[in-house]
């Protein structure tokens, strides 16, 4: 018998682990609840989901200043974890509010919808909190598996199934790359713990070793896929278009934020010694991502597809912040992620309100005249579009200003020039939506607006956050800076 | 002795792998893949990785290959003999990309190699490594182990959601009745899915 020690469960900080517990218990509770018949009008699934998300956020906020390393350093509770856990929970909550009526209207109101939503949130939390490549991979898989199914949730629709199929096949491929990269890194360094990888690299002749570099590159491919960076972006427009609109909003915000959280932790904790290797690669990817995303978005007439390409472009801006690195780059990325999540969620939330029953009316033509038919919705959509384009006084503007100024400080002038030019291009297609809403006559069959109180609350929340962070960015910025400190 | 065994297993592995991609009949390809997996398991055994070898046989050669064969037989790949210019182009592109990749690999691995990390301390030399793996799995790697269980649950639920016939296309009823039918159908659905 070899000696071994049981991990003492009493010593675990339950508050720090609370988010994981609340989310997984919530997901399982939802599955069990399906056994109990409910009246068709009831929405207890959404209700339980909201409670679980609230409990998860509350639990990590309870110990927000603590720093805990659980399970042999695999799960880290620090400012970074708290920031992202709360972000994911709020994103999830907004998505639940948007889905509240949408899933009933489009008749996909099955209990598994919310269970999968919670599981993918759990995966995101794990990706942000993991300090170990194994748990990062498991978190990523958990998030992705749930999202594959959510994308194909309207299973009687051909485009939804096609989207899920494409997303699943390419996603499985990317997971393979990521896992292979992890295996090579383990072979090169002898550990999967990020802090230990950094310690190993700090004083070793391994730098420049092919195995290490190939491992790192494969890791970048895996993450590049999840955040939809060019050239790993092919799945994005199809998956975004085919998914139920509320799921599109949720994955465009949550999956991207989670991908960047894991990428930031890996690059800033484990790979500072290899900075000279990954910086140029990521710079090229960033420039390509911004340009391809924005230029292709110009050509789209389906707003969901357009927003998909726009989300690719935003991944490019975020990569600029990652390349800048350090405290400033990291906090710029966190700030931009928070801001981006809510303006994007808001835009998809508005789109989810359009159409009667299960029909989907999301082309630019369908939006014609919306600004006069529903001033509130038109105003909200306009703000989201302006914010995505980076026009003051919205949060998108503050995010871009901060991000590009950080990049200038880091000496990334060419990237900033590409980024600013791209932002100018992007304003064009964002304004096309606004122009259609206010300056075009609605067609023969104007789109029906399916108002619901919960969806209205979601619009108000996202709108308020987008405007608030536009004029009062300081709080969020300080939080972002404090959150990133723990990594460095 | 070990060297001879290694050479035999390695040659078998390379040969079988080549047959997987070169054989015209997909079922034969799949069966060669089984053989390839088994010879890989042999290599693992030579490395004293008994657990990995057993898992390789049970999971890959057993479960996954059965799945492969099912898929191949269900798809009934009779008309897969493609012809024409498209195939030639695709073949050509494949060869060129393959050669490029090979060249890159050679160029890359001529690069600087350095000493890897010191090898991990020998675990449990007595009872074979299955016991050692079990012990770290439930202690050090308890957290990933638990997460994996959640992951498998999600995969199972996802498979049920995707495969189960429900919803408007398959219940041509009024919306309210449809939802009620769903609520009633939900319980047996799950019992079937999770059994």
What's B42's domain CATH number?
1.20.120.1200
The reply to whether residue A155 touches residue B187, judged by beta carbons under 8 angstroms, is no
- At A75, which helix (H) or strand (E)? strand A75-77
**Residue in chain B nearest A37 by alpha carbon:** B183
Determine the structural domain holding residue B59 and report its residue range.
1-76
Domain end position, chosen among B76, B111, B142? B76
Structure tokens, A358: 């299960």
Asked if the structure places residue B184 within a domain, the reply is yes
Do B142 and B158 form a contact (C-beta atoms < 8 A)?
no
How far does A75 lie from chain B, in Å, by closest CA? 8
Hey, of B125, B150, B169, which one would you mutate to test binding to chain A, going by the most A CBs within 10 A of its CB?
B150
The encoded tokens of residue A346 equal 């808001």
B64 CB neighbours in chain A (<8 A) are none
| B133 shares a domain with B71 | no
Cβ atoms < 10 Å from Cβ of B15: 14
Contact status, residue A136 vs residue A145, Cβ threshold 8 Å? no
In this complex, do A7 and B123 lie within 8 Å of one another by their Cβ atoms?
no
One domain for residues B5 and B69: yes
Cα three-residue angle B23-A176-A169, rounded to 5 degrees:
75
Residue B147: inside a domain, yes or no?
Answer: yes
Residue B115 lies in a domain: no
Number of domains in chain B: 2
Within this chain, do residues B134 and B71 fall inside the same structural domain, yes or no?
Answer: no
Tokens of B131: 């016991």
pLDDT at B68 over 90: no
Q: Does B59 touch chain A (CB under 8 A)?
A: no
Q: Which residues of chain A does B175 touch, with a Cβ-Cβ cutoff of 8 Å?
A: 107
How far apart CA B13 and CA B33 sit, in angstroms, is: 9
Asked, for residue B92, whether it belongs to a domain, the answer is no
Half-sphere exposure of A382 (CA within 13 A, CB side): 19
Q: Give pLDDT tens digits for B128-165.
A: 678 888 888 888 888 999 999 999 999 999 998 888 76
In chain B, the largest separation of any two C-alpha atoms, in whole Å, equals 74
Overall pTM > 0.90: no
pLDDT digits (tens, 9 = 90+) for B69-127: 888 888 766 655 666 777 788 888 999 999 998 998 888 777 666 555 555 555 445 55
Q: Which two tokens stand for residue B182?
A: 């769903």
Cα A101-A107-A110 angle, rounded to 5 deg:
90
pLDDT score at B121: 52
What tokens were used for B130?
A: 């299955």
Task: Give bridge partners of residue A69 from the DSSP assignment.
Answer: A76
Decide if pLDDT at B182 tops 50: no
Residue A73, burial from CB neighbour count under 10 angstroms (0-12, 13-18, 19+): middle
Q: Name the closest residue on chain A to residue B125, using Cα atoms.
A: A2
Report yes or no for ipTM above 0.85. Answer: yes
Contact: B115, A205; criterion CB under 8 Å: yes
Does residue B112 belong to any structural domain of this protein? no
Please check whether residues B71 and B137 belong to one and the same domain: no
B-chain CB neighbours of A187 within 8 Å are 116
- Report if residue B83 sits inside a domain: no
Structure tokens at A141: 């898989």
Domain boundary among B34, B49, B76: B76
Q: Do A188 and B116 touch (CB under 8 A)?
A: yes
Say if B42 falls within a structural domain: yes
Q: What is the pLDDT along chain A (488 residues), one digit of tens a residue?
A: 445 555 555 566 788 889 999 999 999 999 999 888 877 777 888 999 999 999 999 999 988 888 888 888 899 999 999 999 999 999 999 999 999 989 888 888 888 899 999 999 999 999 999 999 999 999 999 999 999 999 999 888 888 999 999 999 999 999 999 999 999 999 888 889 999 888 888 877 666 677 888 888 999 999 999 999 988 999 999 999 999 999 999 999 999 999 999 999 999 998 888 888 889 999 999 999 999 999 999 999 999 999 999 999 999 999 999 999 888 999 999 999 999 999 999 999 999 998 887 788 888 888 888 888 889 899 999 999 999 999 888 999 999 999 999 999 999 999 999 999 999 999 999 999 999 999 888 877 778 888 888 999 999 999 999 999 999 889 999 999 999 987 87
Residue B174 at interface with chain A, using a CB cutoff of 8 Å = no
Q: Residue B194: is its pLDDT beyond 60?
A: no
């Amino acid at each position: 018998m070899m000696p071994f020690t049981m991990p003492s469960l009493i010593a675990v900080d339950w508050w720090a682990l609370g988010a994981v517990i609340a989310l997984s218990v919530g997901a399982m509770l939802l599955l069990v609840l399906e056994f109990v018949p409910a009246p068709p009008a009831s929405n207890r699934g959404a209700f339980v989901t909201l409670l679980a998300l609230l409990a998860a956020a509350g639990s990590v906020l309870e110990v927000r200043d603590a720093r805990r390393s659980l399970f042999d350093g695999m799960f880290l509770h620090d400012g970074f974890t708290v920031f992202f856990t709360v972000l994911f929970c709020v994103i999830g909550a907004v998505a639940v509010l948007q889905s509240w009526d949408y899933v009933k209207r489009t008749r996909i109101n099955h209990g598994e919808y919310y269970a999968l939503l919670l599981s993918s949130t759990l995966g995101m939390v794990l990706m942000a909190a993991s300090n170990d490549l194994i748990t990062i991979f498991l978190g990523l898989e958990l998030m992705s598996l749930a999202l594959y199914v959510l994308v194909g949730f309207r299973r009687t629709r051909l485009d939804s199934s096609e989207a899920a199929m494409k997303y699943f096949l390419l996603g499985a491929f990317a997971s393979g790359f990521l896992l292979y990269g992890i295996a090579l890194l383990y072979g090169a360094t002898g550990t999967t713990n990020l802090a230990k990888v950094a310690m190993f690299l700090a004083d070793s002749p391994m730098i420049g070793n092919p195995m290490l570099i190939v491992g790192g590159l494969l890791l970048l491919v895996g993450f590049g896929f999840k955040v939809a960076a060019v050239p790993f972006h092919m799945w994005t427009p199809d998956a975004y278009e085919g998914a139920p609109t509320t799921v599109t909003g949720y994955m465009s915000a949550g999956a991207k934020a989670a991908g960047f959280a894991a990428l930031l932790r890996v690059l800033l904790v484990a790979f500072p010694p290899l900075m000279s290797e990954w910086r140029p690669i990521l710079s090229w990817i960033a420039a390509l991502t911004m340009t391809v995303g924005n230029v292709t978005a110009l050509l789209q007439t389906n707003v969901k597809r357009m927003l998909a390409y726009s989300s690719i472009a935003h991944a490019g801006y975020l990569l600029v912040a990652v390349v800048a690195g350090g405290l400033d780059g990291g906090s710029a990325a966190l700030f931009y992620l928070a801001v981006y999540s809510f303006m994007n969620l808001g835009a998809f939330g508005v789109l989810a309100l359009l159409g009667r029953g299960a029909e989907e009316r999301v082309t630019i033509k369908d939006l014609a005249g919306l600004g006069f038919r529903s001033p509130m919705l038109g105003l909200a959509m306009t703000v989201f579009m302006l914010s995505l384009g980076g026009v003051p006084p919205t949060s998108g503007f503050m995010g871009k200003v901060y991000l590009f100024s950080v990049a200038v400080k880091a000496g990334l002038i060419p990237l900033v020039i590409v980024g600013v030019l791209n932002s100018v291009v992007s304003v064009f297609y964002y304004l096309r939506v606004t122009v259609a809403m206010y300056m075009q006559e609605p067609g023969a069959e104007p789109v029906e607006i399916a108002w619901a109180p919960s969806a209205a609350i979601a619009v108000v929340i996202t709108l308020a956050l987008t405007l608030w962070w536009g004029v009062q960015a300081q709080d969020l910025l300080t939080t972002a800076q404090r959150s990133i400190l723990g990594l460095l | 002795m070990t060297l001879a065994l290694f050479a035999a297993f390695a040659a078998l592995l390379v040969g079988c792998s080549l047959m997987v991609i070169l054989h015209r009949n997909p079922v034969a390809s799949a069966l060669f893949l089984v053989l390839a997996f088994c010879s890989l398991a042999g290599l693992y055994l030579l490395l004293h990785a008994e657990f990995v070898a057993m898992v390789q046989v049970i999971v890959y050669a057993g479960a996954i290959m059965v799945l492969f064969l099912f898929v191949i037989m269900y798809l009934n790949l009779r008309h897969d003999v493609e012809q024409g210019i498209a195939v030639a182009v695709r073949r050509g592109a494949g060869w060129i990309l393959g050669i490029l990749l090979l060249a890159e690999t050679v160029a890359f691995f001529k690069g600087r190699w350095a000493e890897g990390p010191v090898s991990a301390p020998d675990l449990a030399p007595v009872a074979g490594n299955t016991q050692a793996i079990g012990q770290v799995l439930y202690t050090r790697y308890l957290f990933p182990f638990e997460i994996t269980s959640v992951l498998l649950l999600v995969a199972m639920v996802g498979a049920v959601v995707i495969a189960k016939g429900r919803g408007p296309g398959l219940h041509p009823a009024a919306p309210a009745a449809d939802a009620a039918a769903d609520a009633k159908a939900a319980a047996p659905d799950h019992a079937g899915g999770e059994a």
